[in-house]
Amino acid sequence: MTSRIVQGKPPVPPRSPSNKEILDEAPLDKRHRFGVMGTMVGPATNPRTTRPVLSSVNGGPNSGDQAAAGSDGGSASGIEFSSREDVERLLAEKMKGKTKNDFKVKSLWYFFPSDVVIKSCENERETRVAVEKSRDALSLDLQRVNRENKCLSDQVPYTMGLNKAVPLRADLTTIKTMTEYEEQKKTTIDLQDRLAEAELQIIEAEKLRKKLHNTILVTTLLCLTNIS
């Protein structure tokens, strides 16, 4: 049976109004003497932070004394899982006397969430890569159309100058140039719309990723609830 020594509070040194340094050093001296008393009487324990490890609770003849020493100090004590083996040992204890379906559920608890996460990550990556490629292609097309549009815009003044020499030919050339300019302008607007649509697809893919993540969390919690 383990013996416990009750440590009382050390006496507070009397305050002296004439000596200010003693008042300033009183809390430090109090803590120092409390620490010295703890080392002289016995090892100081903090029952609120000391919790028995599961392996020490389940094994050994002294496990009852360790659990009692950890639970006498306060109501916040509990079992601390120090490793994955402790969790597996606890699950194995809970699975004793159960059917094969329970063992299948236990296996799903290990493999199903990871498979769902891997699959969702792969789908998200493929979708993101495809959308980014489409966006890059549309950006290149938009840059090309802008360059062509600039070239056509630069040709307009030159064409306007030719109108003075050859009015008919200049009119035909101007009409052709303006027609091409309008077509290029429509193409530019169409590419801009497609680029905006690609960006919306990226946003929708991000929302889908968050939804899949929430679904995975809910599925994992349901698996844990069924196991327990």
Are residue 64 and residue 104 in the same domain, yes or no? no
Question: Based on the domain organization, do 88 and 109 belong to the same domain?
Answer: no
CB contact at 8 A, 66 and 47: no
Residues 195 and 163 in one domain: yes
Q: Count CB-CB contacts under 10 A for residue 146.
A: 13
Contact 77, 14 (CB under 8 A): no
| 131 occurs within a structural domain | yes
Q: Which amino acid is at 23?
A: L
Give the total number of structural domains in the chain. Answer: 2
State how far the Cα of 7 lies from the Cα of 22, in Å rounded to an integer: 25
Looking at the DSSP bridge assignments, the partners of residue 53 are 80
pLDDT tens per residue across all 228 residues of the chain: 333 444 444 554 555 444 444 444 444 444 444 444 444 444 444 444 444 444 454 444 444 444 444 444 444 445 566 677 777 777 777 666 556 566 565 565 555 556 677 788 888 889 999 999 999 999 999 999 889 888 888 888 877 776 666 677 767 778 888 899 899 999 999 999 989 998 999 999 898 988 888 888 888 888 878 776
- The answer as to whether 12 is a domain residue is no
124 and 174 in a common domain: yes
Domain that holds residue 205: 100-227
pTM of the model: 0.27
**Domain annotation covers residue 2:** no
H or E element at residue 55: helix 54-58
